[in-house]
Structure 1
Amino acid sequence: MQILLFLAIYKVSNVNDLANIVLLTVDCLRFDRVADSPYSKKFTKNINSLANKGVLFYEAVTNSSWTIPSLITLLTSTYPLVHNVLTDHTFKTMRFLNRCYGKYALVYPLKTRVRILSLPRILHMRKYRGVCVHSSPILSHYRYLTEITKWFDVIRDAFPHISKGQTITIPEQLKSSLGAIGCHSRFICEAFALLYSQISRLLRKSIKPYADAEKITNEALFLTKKLKNKIDNNLFVWLHYMDVHPPYIPPIRYLEDLGWDLREAVTEYYEIQLKISFCPDNITRKDLELLNTFYNYSVKYVDECIGYLLDKLEEMSLKLEDTLIILTADHGELIGEHSAIGHGVLLYDELVKVPLIMSGSGLPQGVKINFQIGFIDLMPTILEILGINAAQTLLGKSRAYLINEKDNLASEPVISECIGPETCRFSYRTKDWKYILTIRKKSMIEELYNIRSDQKERENLVQMEKDFSKVFREKIIGHIKTAMEYSRIYRERQKLIQRIQDLKKRTL
């Protein structure tokens, strides 16, 4: 990775020639629920239709396994170690890496609200008008993306009371309360779980910690139509759907179609949620089957809303063939694989391999690409499709050439990062191999998988393929050093910009 400065210098075609953009991100959507999977015909009919009308990337890989760093990488073409929006323990994490890598690490990371060249910012400079609708607290209350989302004309949190820091879920409150009083007894935890299951029987309804996809869709359509009627500019519309995020609560009508006893199904489901929070070792295969069912029908619900959204945009005279539509996920989800449920801690393919579809704006139809593409490459790829040349300002590379490339090109590796205060994980993924390096205070764990023959990453070959492991380990350590050096240069540049701005204010 070269060390480049962000220089806001780029060429653009005539604004009138640029396409409208619709970016659809679905939290926790796994790749195996889309495309040619057994699930796709039943649960992702509209997403598959979109793929057939455009370009489907089979090997899209996120550069992180949870929302904040993944979305910022998508929108800025920088690695998490560069933009430093990692966890709430960023400073602690960077001090930890500093101990591991000495002079190559930074003691002081970038602030989470650092000004950075982003896709919304570039589009705003090209007179695009933006609409962003979501129900995720990370996009509002926690302000991780403030310097990115501020370039939208309208940003709407469809579920604002969560974003104001109020309650999220009863299990989380119980777990937090028990932890606060130092109570970790399994007996007491199970007693609380039983109590909550009885409460849920009385409630007979589900409680979502986010706005559902219908509300997100209708809000976006209303705001887009309102903005379109006021101005004649190109539009950038971003919707972030949360329904596939835990706790996976699909509309009741889907469960009715299955012929289930709703009371029993909802009660059993909430008991599983309590097990996940308090007693994860007690999760059974039957529990995982129910989780998968709720997850799949949550995917189906979002898929139907996406189909409705695209139909209504067409009716709004936002011609979809002239609109660049991008559909992807910030990361995937583990539902029992690798003995885990959820996301944000590990870097297996169920988490980092995600759907990626691009359609419209002159793109060919029915194209399927097996070339590996990382999230860091999405922003330059999108800009090139639009006719905006920003190659010299971004860490990623445009992969737009793959869309019309007939030859079989060698896939380039993708590095993913999952940074925590005590544990840092990095993966180095090639077309055939996946290497994972876990760094802790006093230990280092290596994993190596042949993802062509072992797609579920079950057989660790690190001892059998020591040469491969050594090469990949050196690649990751080199990446860490370079990313942190880049971060230092960028931070110094930001200081220089601030001094220039202060000087201008004094001379006015």
Structure 2
Amino acid sequence: EQGWQTAAFVGSVVLKKQFGFGNGFGVYDDEMPRAGNRLQFREDPERKASIVVDHAIDWLNKTSADKPFFAWVHLYDPHLPYNPPPEFARKYKGRPYDGEIAYTDQQLGRLLAALHAKSPDRTIVAVLSDHGESLGEHGELTHGVFLYDATLRIAFLMAGPGIPAGVRVKQQARSIDFLPTLLELLGGQAPQYVQGLSLVPTFSGKSVPTDIGYEETLYPKMNMNWSELRAIRTNRWKYIRAPRPELYDLAADPRETNNVIRQHNNEADKFELHLKSLVAPGGTEQVKTQMVDERVMTQLQSLGYLSGGGGRSYELT
């Protein structure tokens, strides 16, 4: 509507356009590598960052200089299964996750170099992750099972016009705050239905009321027959609703090893009331689903998004 050139380049089948992620993009590049012949082939569930960045740079070099552009470049490599390229596997022997991070950093550097050559000092760059990774903390490997900061805290970096260099926002910032922040930097305003708040005031040392963060995971319930988990996080506290509720003083215990719910049950009660105001007693509202073919389900299972199940039918919302 505003004349922007838009494109997305994704590295995993979980973001294929068939799931609706391509809405609003002029270009949506989601083709995964294929193996086999024309009669029988398989599509890999992910593609390397180098391929994604190659496609993004090619598109970037073709964009018109007189029109603004927006690009979403999704790099999937720091994710199970950990399989860094040989050079990085050797350098980070025994630490494949670190190897994948280093490889992704290298490819991000390629993208930023191309971006700088195309439009130096005129582009806002944001680097975010959708989740962290637990490498044994609290007995969890990878992510999705628990709601501790090992998996909830993410990289959240921004640079460009209107963003002072070297500033670190000390208060809690949430993923939902990214869109309002970006829109304000571009001279716009977030629609009223957007839940997040702009972090632009924090760049100059001011504070904004992002004191409540909501987290949930349904994975334990859907895949392990455990309880679902929901949590409230503030600058100081983390309350986790579970069969055995947990409360952590993040200022004194950032690794969340000392459950202080007995000493601070009033705080826990307050957060439980807030959770009840956010989530209906019956759970989340029902939404329409669509059936997904078995091939896609196998790919999602290989990436850890679904558990296996003999004869089980699958639906995605």
Pair 1:325-2:129 in alignment: no
Match 2:176 to one of 371, 376, 388: 376
Quote the residue 2:105 is aligned against.
303
Q: Do the aligned residues in 1 keep the contact of 2:91 with 2:99 (CA within 8 Å)?
A: no
Which of 80, 84, 87 in structure 2 is aligned with 1:253? 87
How far off its partner does 1:392 sit?
Answer: 2.1
1:399 CA displacement: 2.2
Distance in 1, matches of 2:245 and 2:23, equals: 40
Equivalent position amino acid for 1:156 in 2: D
Deviation at residue 369 of structure 1 after TM alignment? 0.7
Matched residue SS, 1:241: coil
* Aligned counterpart for 1:219 among listed residues 48, 51, 55: 55
Alpha-carbon distance, 1:254 to partner:
2.6
Is 2:192 aligned against 1:392?
yes
Q: Does 1:210 align with 2:210?
A: no
2:299 is matched with: none
Q: In the TM superposition, what is the alpha-carbon distance from 1:234 to its structure 2 partner? A: 0.8
Aligned residues of 2:52 and 2:75 also touching (Cα < 8 A): yes
Larger CA deviation: 343-352 vs 248-257: 248-257
> 2:12 maps to which residue?
136
Q: Which amino acid aligns with 1:149?
A: G
Q: Is the 8 A contact 1:129 1:235 kept in 2?
A: yes
Q: Deviations over 1:93-148 (max 9, x none)?
A: xxxxxxxxxxxxxxxxxxxxxxxxxxxxxxxx22211111112112117x33x1x4
Distance of aligned partners of 1:395 and 1:408 in 2 relative to their CA distance in 1, 3 Å threshold: closer
Matched, 1:314 2:116: yes
Instruction: Output one character per residue of 1:72-100: Cα deviation in whole Å (capped at 9) or x when no partner.
Output: xxxxxxxxxxxxxxxxxxxxxxxxxxxxx
Q: Secondary structure at the match of 2:24?
A: coil
* Counterpart residue identity of residue 141, structure 2: I
Q: What is the identity, as a one-letter code, of the residue corresponding to 1:245?
A: H
Q: Distance in 1 between matches of 2:70 and 2:283?
A: 32
SS of aligned partner of 1:393 = coil
Q: 1:135 to 1:483 in 2, by over 3 A?
A: farther
- Is contact 1:391-1:398 (8 Å) kept? no
Q: Distance in 2 between matches of 1:140 and 1:453?
A: 42
Indicate conservation of the 8 Å contact 1:216/1:239, yes or no: yes
SS at match of 1:155: strand
Between structure 1 and structure 2, the one with the greater Rg is: 1
Q: 2:157 matched to 1:357? A: yes
Give the counterpart of 2:28 among 139, 155, 165: 155
Match of 1:469, SS state, is helix
Structure 1, residues 258-292: CA drift from partner, whole Å, max 9, x if none? 6x6xxxxxxxxxxxxxxxxxxxxxxxxxxxxx3xx
Give the superposition deviation at 1:297: 1.4
Partner deviation per Cα, 1:200-221 (whole Å, 9 max, x = no partner): xxxxxxxxx5211111111110
Provide, for residues 394-450 of structure 1, a one-character-per-residue CA deviation record: whole Å limited to 9, x for no partner. Answer: 22222222112x346675121112124463211111111111113xxxxx3311111
Q: What aligned pairs does 1:46-125 form with structure 2 within 5 A after superposition?
A: 125=1
Identity, in percent, stands at 27
- What is the CA distance between 1:484 and its match in structure 2? 7.7
Give, in whole Å, the separation in 1 of the partners of 2:218 and 2:5: 34
Summarize the Cα distance change of 1:355–1:256 in structure 2 as closer, same or farther, 3 Å threshold: closer
- 1:140–1:407 CA distance, 2 compared to 1 (3 A): closer
Q: 1:424 aligned to 2:195? A: no
Distance across 2 between alignment mates of 1:483 and 1:431: 29
> Retained in 2: the 8 A contact 1:413–1:430?
yes
Match of 2:202 in 1: 402
Aligned amino acid, residue 476 of structure 1: L
Q: Deviations over 1:28-63 (max 9, x none)?
A: xxxxxxxxxxxxxxxxxxxxxxxxxxxxxxxxxxxx
Q: 1:343 to 1:257 in 2, by over 3 A?
A: closer
Q: Which structure: greater helix fraction?
A: 1
1:305-325, Cα deviation, whole Å (9 max, x unpaired): 11111111222x222x21010
Q: Partners of 1:331 and 1:232 in 2: how far apart?
A: 36
8 A contact 2:7–2:27 mirrored in 1:
yes
Is the contact between residue 6 and residue 69 of structure 2 (CA under 8 Å) also seen in structure 1? yes
Among candidates 254, 265, 279, match of residue 466 of structure 1: 265
Distance 1:136 1:255, change over 3 A: closer
Distance 1:484-1:128 versus aligned 2 partners, 3 A rule: farther
Rate the CA distance shift 1:391–1:371 in 2: closer, same or farther, 3 A. farther
Distance of 2:2 and 2:283 partners within structure 1: 31
Counterpart amino acid of residue 249 in structure 2: N
Contact 1:133 1:158 in 2 (8 A): no
Q: Is the 8 A contact 1:140 1:157 kept in 2?
A: yes
Q: How much has 1:354 moved relative to structure 2?
A: 0.7
- Give 3-state SS (helix, strand or coil) of 1:236's partner: strand
TM-score, normalised to structure 1's length? 0.51
- Please give the alpha-carbon distance, in whole angstroms, between the structure 2 residues aligned to 1:400 and 1:466: 35
Q: Aligned ranges for residues 15-30 of structure 1 at < 5 Å?
A: none
> What stretches of structure 1 of length at least 5 have no aligned partner?
1-124, 169-208, 261-289, 439-443, 492-508
How far apart are the structure 2 equivalents of 1:483 and 1:311? 50
Match of residue 496 from structure 1: none
Q: Secondary structure at the match of 1:445?
A: coil
The size of the alignment, in residue pairs, is 279
Q: SS of 1:459's equivalent?
A: coil
- Of 155, 163, 166, 1:366 maps to 166
SS for the counterpart of 1:456 is coil
Conserved? CA contact 1:158–1:219, under 8 Å: no
Quote the Cα distance in structure 2 between the aligned partners of 1:303 and 1:371.
Answer: 26
Of 234, 238, 255 in structure 1, the residue corresponding to residue 68 of structure 2 is: 234
1:127 and 2:3 are equivalent in the alignment: yes
